[in-house]
Amino acid sequence: MSIVYDKENQVFHLQAGDTSYVMGVVRGYLTHLYWGKRLNRYGASRRIIWKDRGFAPNPDDLDRAFSLDTLPQEYPQTGNGDYRNCAYGMLDEQGGRISNLIYQGYEILHGKEPLSGLPASFGNDDEVDTLKIHMLDELSGLKVELWYHAFHNQSVIARSVRFVNTGEENLTLTKMLSMSVDIREAGFDVLTLYGAHNNERNMDRRRITSGTVQIESLRGTSSPQQAPFMALLRPETTEDFGEVYAANFVYSGNFIAAAQTDAFENTRFQMGMNPWNGQWLLEPGQEFHTPEVVMVYTSEGLNEMSKIFHNFYQDHLIRSQYTKKIRPILINNWEATYFDFTEEKILEIADKAAQVGIELFVLDDGWFGKRDDTTSSLSDWIEDRRKLPDGLKGLEEKIHEKGLQFGLWLEPEMISENSDLYRRHPDYVLHTPGRPYTYGRGQLVLDLSREDVCDYVIESISKVLESAQIDYVKWDMNRHLTDVGSGFYPAARQGEITHRYVLGLYRILETLTNKYPDILFESCSSGGGRFDPGMLYYMPQTWCSDNTDAVCRLKIQYATSLTYPPITIGAHVSGCPNQQTGRETSLSTRGFAAMSANMGYELDLTKCSEEELEQIKQQVDFYKEIRETIQFGTFYRTKNPFEGNLAQWNFVSKDGKDVVGFYFEILSRPAAPIQLMKFKGLERDGYYKDLNTGKIYGGDELMYSGISIPIHKQDFRSECYHFRKVNENSF
Ligand code: DGJ
């Protein structure tokens, strides 16, 4: 059992991998005692020392040293003494906002039950234990259960919260975070990932000395603007060294993540649903469960943090049957044709794709309704016979005859005003009745807070998926929510619509991914605008960015790999000049950038020269040789492109025998230094053969001495090294 309860001192000690997490009950309040490196046993260290502080209010007037304002807590409330950021808020029928959660008891269970209607991590009785702590606000009857899941072999604690109204009056939850931890130290750096469409996930590291650093999404999705991730680092923490406290939200809607340092050098670390537009009415007897947060601690730097997230997501979150399967190399026609294609053109591209060894053809936007641009047809999922004279089935059969699998683009959450569905059902649009629409990419959003609209989506998408043999689906979402409201719900529930939208989406995904388990689903939101663990639970890969420029991709993929495994990161080789930046890069650099993740192609192969096609064939063959190592090996970042002119990383296969390293030098420099490429994760005393040159290197040499990279007068250059471990006696 990885959860120990010390009855005498009312202390809970969770052990997960190399981590311990400790809480204790103090005068009825659940306090946070420790989160950090694993302890064999928690004794009396870190006891809370009481001190009368000015302006710190007291629940007991006779004891001026006891105040919620200075107590390290696990799920803080507001209004009765703690002025820091609260974890939840509640409104009663009289307009009262005060509650007082008092510890009632606990349950410790083997295993982990699913969260109804929500994506969440999973594990069997031998892999994870669960602690539920029961708390109650006696006056209102609000019961709060804090759920903690300790994974035995991973340094991961997953957390969520269940609210139940056991009283007799309506209660409204005005804030319901999933995680709040009072770390009794300060001086952290806060690491977050920010960006935009075409520029997702830039790394932002800033010191927090006082006050709050907060990031959020209010866009109805997790968003490209801020990723639902935050980590607290010690100032000295690097890739390979130092403490990291990280949290990633298993949710695809609005969120907040915050770090708040108080006057006494404590840091409150929080994550959960965004309270703005995120209320929930609880009638007597009703309950609400928050989404889950995955919490990772390590004392060994950011690379170790990523390793923990990668293994955890592959083993305990992504549940597709493809999670552990080699992924096909795909070609997508979007950048080759946009909306302007004929069946003949598609088949010409597919012909070339088959010739070079590509395995899957994906037909992108423009195949349905009268969709010649973004102004029409979303939600009319019927093939356009002008473009596909033999229908989807006809095209699919012809693609399969060429030995390729067939994939299809869909954007099921959307509706065009110019569509048959809109003409029949204008009420299906997500909007506040009586208010004008706000458009995004010329389209509107379906009201997925409504059960009947979700049923319609399930039915219409099922029809498409059954109309032909479809092996892969790209599930796109190209605008954010506006005018949030629904004529379907009473005024008191209008604050629930954004979350109800996400719940509706999850029900659709749950139904379709269960119904069609053989389809490989890839999630997309104008690229990586909804790259989050919630979507990964249903769909094992995500299109990482619409920006296919290899140089930009170095940063985007580097930062994405902080939390998500390379196998989940869709990366395509596209044409030049690049359509997002106008940049010219060599085919080989484009290839190596894409090979660093889940590689595919997105260019017009019919316009490539014979020479280029030959080079693409060689890339495809090479990726097939190394993809097991890339997709299932361990990933090591060795040079950070956010910090300079270089990007470097290497992969080591699970059995340690295969090693692939990539080197990128962005701009050519006069008086350039000779660069060294140093590897990580090798066996110090092992020997490795360079499969290009036949040279043998010691693991220690590759890791500590490094290999010299020859100078080339060329921008955007790259190298790839492929080593195989050899026996000392074999050379
Ligand atoms: C946005 C996606 O990210 C692109 O790859 C492409 O599928 C377009 N949508 C199609 O509209």
Q: How far is CA 378 from CA 72, 407, 412, 438, 535, in A?
A: 51, 18, 8, 16, 21
Predicted local confidence at residue 340, as pLDDT: 98
Side chain identity at 393, as an amino acid letter?
A: K
Give the distance (Å) from ligand 1 centre to CA of residue 110. Answer: 43
Pocket-testing residue among 363, 411, 526, ligand 1, by greatest number of atoms within 8 A of Cβ: 526
Pocket-testing residue among 341, 365, 548, ligand 1, by greatest number of atoms within 8 A of Cβ: 365
92, 365, 380, 476: the active-site residue: 476
Query: Do residues 722 and 626 lie in contact, with contact meaning Cβ atoms separated by under 8 Å?
Result: yes
Query: Which class for 202: exposed (0-12), middle (13-18), buried (19 or more C-beta within 10 A)?
Result: middle
Pocket, ligand 1, Cβ cutoff 6 A: 334, 364-365, 409, 476, 478, 524, 526-527, 543, 546
Structure tokens at 444: 């509107």
Residue 126 annotated in active site: no
Q: Dihedral through CA 378, CA 380, CA 381, CA 383, nearest 10?
A: -110
Predicted local confidence at residue 220, as pLDDT: 97
For residue 524, give the ligand 1 atom closest to its CA: 3
Q: Which of 712, 638, 644 is nearest to 676 (CA)?
A: 638
Cis check: omega of the bond before 577, within 30 degrees of 0: yes
Gap between the Cα atoms of 208 and 265, Å rounded: 11
pLDDT digits 0-9 by tens, 602-641: 999 999 999 999 999 999 999 999 999 999 999 999 999 9
Q: How far is CA 196 from CA 226, 255, 331, 527, in A?
A: 8, 17, 25, 10
Cβ neighbour number for residue 87 with a 10 Å cutoff: 26
Cβ neighbour number for residue 60 with a 10 Å cutoff: 10
Strand, helix or coil at 293? strand
Predicted local confidence at residue 297, as pLDDT: 98
Q: How far is CA 248 from CA 159, 256, 292, in A?
A: 11, 11, 9
Cβ neighbour number for residue 703 with a 10 Å cutoff: 19
Predicted local confidence at residue 45, as pLDDT: 80
Strand, helix or coil at 44? coil
Integer-rounded Cα Rg, in Å, for the chain is 27
Cβ-count burial 494-519 (b if 16+ within 10 Å, e if not): bbbbbbbbbbbbbbbbbbbbeebeeb
Gap between the Cα atoms of 711 and 709, Å rounded: 6
Query: Do residues 469 and 431 lie in contact, with contact meaning Cβ atoms separated by under 8 Å?
Result: no
pLDDT digits 0-9 by tens, 228-249: 999 999 999 999 999 999 999 9
Gap between the Cα atoms of 292 and 301, Å rounded: 24
Q: Which of 659, 675, 683, 665 is nearest to 707 (CA)?
A: 675
pLDDT digits 0-9 by tens, 8-62: 999 999 999 999 999 999 999 999 999 999 999 998 787 888 899 999 999 999 9
Instruction: Please report, in angstroms and rounded to a whole number, the separation of the first and last CA atoms in the chain.
Output: 49
> Cα 417–422–423 angle (5° rounding)?
105
Strand, helix or coil at 193? strand
Q: What is the number of H-type helices and E-type strands within the chain?
A: 12, 38
- The residue behind tokens 């302890």 is 39
Give the distance (Å) from ligand 1 centre to CA of residue 524. Answer: 8
Residue 471 annotated in active site: no
Cβ-count burial 152-183 (b if 16+ within 10 Å, e if not): ebbbbbbbbbbbbbbbeeebbbbbbbbbbbbb
pLDDT digits 0-9 by tens, 60-102: 999 999 999 999 999 999 999 999 999 999 999 999 999 999 9
For residue 527, give the ligand 1 atom closest to its CA: 3
Predicted local confidence at residue 728, as pLDDT: 81
Query: Do residues 142 and 158 lie in contact, with contact meaning Cβ atoms separated by under 8 Å?
Result: no
Structure tokens at 151: 């994974």
Q: How far is CA 143 from CA 76, 94, 104, 162, 647, in A?
A: 14, 19, 10, 8, 50
Give the distance (Å) from ligand 1 centre to CA of residue 543. Answer: 9
The number of C-alpha atoms within 13 Å of 555 and in the hemisphere containing its C-beta is 20
Strand, helix or coil at 291? coil
Gap between the Cα atoms of 185 and 349, Å rounded: 58
Give the distance (Å) from ligand 1 centre to CA of residue 79. Answer: 47
pLDDT digits 0-9 by tens, 394-429: 999 999 999 999 999 999 999 999 999 999 999 999
- Angle (deg, nearest 10), helices 451-466 and 497-515: 30
Predicted local confidence at residue 436, as pLDDT: 96
Predicted local confidence at residue 216, as pLDDT: 98
H/E segment holding residue 348: helix 343-356
Q: Which of 43, 108, 42, 99 is nearest to 75 (CA)?
A: 99
Low-confidence ranges of the chain (pLDDT < 50): none
- The residue behind tokens 């300079």 is 644
Between strands 675-677 and 658-665, the pairing is: unpaired
Sequence-separated (6 or more) residues with CB below 8 Å from residue 466: none
Cβ neighbour number for residue 313 with a 10 Å cutoff: 25
